[in-house]
Structure 1
Amino acid sequence: MNITENLKDYEQVRGLAIQSLFEIIEQSSEGTVIVDRDANIVWMNERYAKRFGLKSADEAIGQPCEQVISNSLLRQVVRNDQPILLDIQDTPKGPLVVMRLPIHNNAGTVIGAIGFALFDELRNLSPLIERYLSMQAELASTRSLLRSRQSKYNFAHFIGTSAASLDVKRRARRSASAESPVLLLGETGTGKELLAQAIHGASKRAHKAFVSINSAAVPHDLLEAEFFGTAPGAFTGADRKGRPGKFQIAQGGTLFLDEIGDMPLPLQSKLLRVLQEKEFEPVGSNEMLHSDVRVIAATSMDLEAAIKRGEFRADLYYRLNVLPIQVPPLRERLEDIPALSEAILEELHSQHELDREALVLLAQHAWPGNIRELRNVLERAALLSDDLVLNAAEIRAAIGTFSPVARNEVKTVEGETFAAARARFDRELIAATLEACEGNVVEAARRLGLGRSTLYKKMVALGIA
């Protein structure tokens, strides 16, 4: 058999296949219509004609397709030479699932279009529709969960223009552009979680989840499952499907570990592995999961003292303490109280204001509970006051146990000049800071807010070895 005969056989088989396919679809479909290059109907089967109220298909021949099928898109198919494979076609007797295809001659030129009405009852597509709706529901749920785990705060929410506040915000902004762990140090109520959310919100991970877990708030025997999740049926009472841990939920985002100092030692070693190897095993599983999470830890505990007591791993401390940020207590930034008070009252949707004596009193309290205590005092005073301007007496009553700020008495030497007194103060301050930093000049310069070279010059001038 030569090539010419092969081609004839191919064309014959192809033609029969096309004819057979047309007959199968035409017989099994709810209707078929064919239009020419001007979108005029040249053929329509009887079932389709009756659906549109025609007595016979002959009545449709020669008419524009839109005159018979009011919202037909066959003209668009002819014009654009592009099929519309699945669509919903509204008809007087209910919707149809339709397919529209262009028709070409042997030269490849569009000479018309054909439309098949595949289903007249959409329930035939119910498995596909159900799967689509299920996927849509899962997607909506995931988006909702992600929205609920977006950071709520940015750096503007860390209120204050004192030197201490500005230094904290400067260091926090710098850490946002890095991927290294951040360690937030400070007393309870100073705003460590707010800063953690602000760092996340300013980082390249901001579009992913911010997940927090408080090591002190979860029973120790459940902490590992909270962190790393559980495999299906890992232990009695465990979820049959398994349960994702915080590291899995925070994947691609930020995990905030609050009160890291209260984490039990066995879990500390597992956390260290995640930080170093970027992988972990869920409880009850042998499968190793990859972790892409930025960790921000916070504590009100003296971790160096905890290390000496054997309560905190030194290697984990060094791994977390890459970017340390010391969040100052409110008593060390009392000049921020007016702005903080205004912001808190606004957040409480209160119309109250503070008079001058009230602000003076607020600056005299040591605030052991820090900003959280300040908010509590202002909320209580606003609720109990009959006036819109809060006075000192109302603030004093709201504070309860008053803790006056410790004021260092100025040490004076008889006959000492101002210059000599200033030099003595500088000498004592620098010497005390160096002692606190165990002779580390770089750390002492950071705490004093000086450049390293500036501190060296002052040490030489003041005779500090």
Structure 2
Amino acid sequence: VSLNVAAIPDNLIEAEFFGVAPGAYTGASNKGRKGKLELANGGTLFLDEIGDMPLELQSKLLRALQEKEFEPLGSNKVRKVDIRIVAATSRNLPKMVENGEFRADLYYRLNAMPIHLPPLRERQADIDLIAERLLDELCIRLQLPVKYLTPDAINLLFQHTWPGNVRELQNLLERAVIMAEENNEIDAQLIQSLLINSVQVAQIPSTQNPVTGLPSSMAPPVITHLSKNAQPQTKAPPQPLHQQMAQTERQAIEAALAYTQGHKVKTAKLLGISRASLYEKMRKLEIQYSETC
């Protein structure tokens, strides 16, 4: 059983927790109504945004947790409960306790096994994996073909600060999936247009190749710009641009696969792309490397 504390008005939250006795107040049902504590009896009650709980209700919840009993609103009959509480909040509860905004005894009663989930901006290495999972879920829900992010698009996701956390990433990807229409690729131009806040461009470490992002020791050679007076090294005509780009991309992927001994997950992370993108590029470029999954 779950309850979002922040979504319940203060004048109704006690009834949501403890239930209402028959005819407890004007307009109340003659049959009464069970509260979340009673509904979760013998199981788990998840309280989202526990930091928004009114102080007057905190003492009643504490008693229910300690004594394993409560009284429904408008009733003198005590009801026994045996529940496990899992609570979550985006607020700083220790600071709220210090300011007198949250009861210290309830905080320590709930804080038996705390789990800190860092915000997305502190989990940059996970962004591509999270984005890949979200894309798969969105495509299934919207009944669209599988889509994947280009390397440049993923780099933009890495560089964004994500003040809206995972919800912001999910909303951005949903808009991108819809706007991409029948295209399987979601490119950097589309992602850039959807980012609300300015992208903070991170400087590439000097140990990495500025084009591929691979370690310099394994990166393929990069074609530099020629000056007007520079003479070509060969008289053979240059290949079409798309062929040159495909060749460079192939070299980068093959070098990364060799570096990771064929480990696909590590290769995708090294290249800054999702695993799905890596498989798709290997298929298009006909790269065979199956030593390690």
TM, length-normalised to structure 1? 0.41
State the match for 1:399 in structure 2. Answer: 195
State the match for 2:46 in structure 1. Answer: 256
Decide whether the 8 Å contact of 2:149 with 2:185 is kept in 1. Answer: yes
The one of 185, 189, 195 aligned to 1:389: 185
SS of match in other structure, 1:363? helix
Decide whether the 8 Å contact of 1:366 with 1:405 is kept in 2. Answer: no
State the match for 2:67 in structure 1. Answer: 277
Decide whether the 8 Å contact of 2:18 with 2:38 is kept in 1. Answer: yes
Of structures 1 and 2, the one scoring higher in RCO (CA 8 A, sep 6+) is 2
The one of 219, 222, 228 aligned to 2:12: 222
Q: How much does 1:338 deviate? A: 1.5
User: Residues of 1 paired with 2:99 and 2:26: CA distance?
Assistant: 35
Q: For 1:303-348, what per-residue CA distance to the aligned partner results, in whole angstroms no more than 9, with x for missing partners?
A: 1111122111011011011111101111111111121111111111
SS of match in other structure, 2:12? helix
SS of match in other structure, 2:61? helix
Decide whether the 8 Å contact of 1:228 with 1:244 is kept in 2. Answer: yes
Q: How much does 1:398 deviate? A: 1.4
SS of match in other structure, 2:6? coil
User: Residues of 1 paired with 2:44 and 2:175: CA distance?
Assistant: 35
Q: How much does 1:356 deviate? A: 0.6
Q: Which runs of 5+ in 1 are unaligned?
A: 1-210, 408-465
State the match for 2:138 in structure 1. Answer: 348
State the match for 1:363 in structure 2. Answer: 158
Q: Which runs of 5+ in 2 are unaligned?
A: 204-293
Q: How much does 1:252 deviate? A: 1.0
Identity of aligned residues (%): 57
For the pair shown, which has the larger CA radius of gyration, 1 or 2?
1
Pair 1:392–1:314, CA change in 2 (3 A): same
Q: Higher strand proportion, which one? A: 1
Q: What is the CA RMSD across the aligned residues, in angstroms?
A: 1.7
User: Residues of 2 paired with 1:309 and 1:214: CA distance?
Assistant: 23
- 4+ residue runs over 4 A deviation: none
Is 2:57 aligned against 1:267? yes
Decide whether the 8 Å contact of 1:234 with 1:283 is kept in 2. Answer: yes
State the match for 2:27 in structure 1. Answer: 237
Q: How much does 1:396 deviate? A: 1.1
User: Residues of 1 paired with 2:57 and 2:51: CA distance?
Assistant: 12
Alignment of 1:435-454 (within 5 A): none
**Aligned residue identity for 1:388:** N
Q: For 1:219-274, what per-residue CA distance to the aligned partner results, in whole angstroms no more than 9, with x for missing partners?
A: 10111100000110011111101100001111111101111111111100000001
SS of match in other structure, 1:236? coil
The one of 318, 330, 334 aligned to 2:124: 334
Q: For 1:107-157, what per-residue CA distance to the aligned partner results, in whole angstroms no more than 9, with x for missing partners?
A: xxxxxxxxxxxxxxxxxxxxxxxxxxxxxxxxxxxxxxxxxxxxxxxxxxx
User: Residues of 1 paired with 2:201 and 2:169: CA distance?
Assistant: 14
User: Residues of 2 paired with 1:365 and 1:238: CA distance?
Assistant: 50
SS of match in other structure, 1:261? helix
**Aligned residue identity for 1:216:** A
Decide whether the 8 Å contact of 2:153 with 2:191 is kept in 1. Answer: yes
SS of match in other structure, 1:256? strand
The one of 160, 170, 175 aligned to 1:375: 170
**Aligned residue identity for 2:50:** I
State the match for 1:308 in structure 2. Answer: 98
Q: How much does 1:381 deviate? A: 1.0
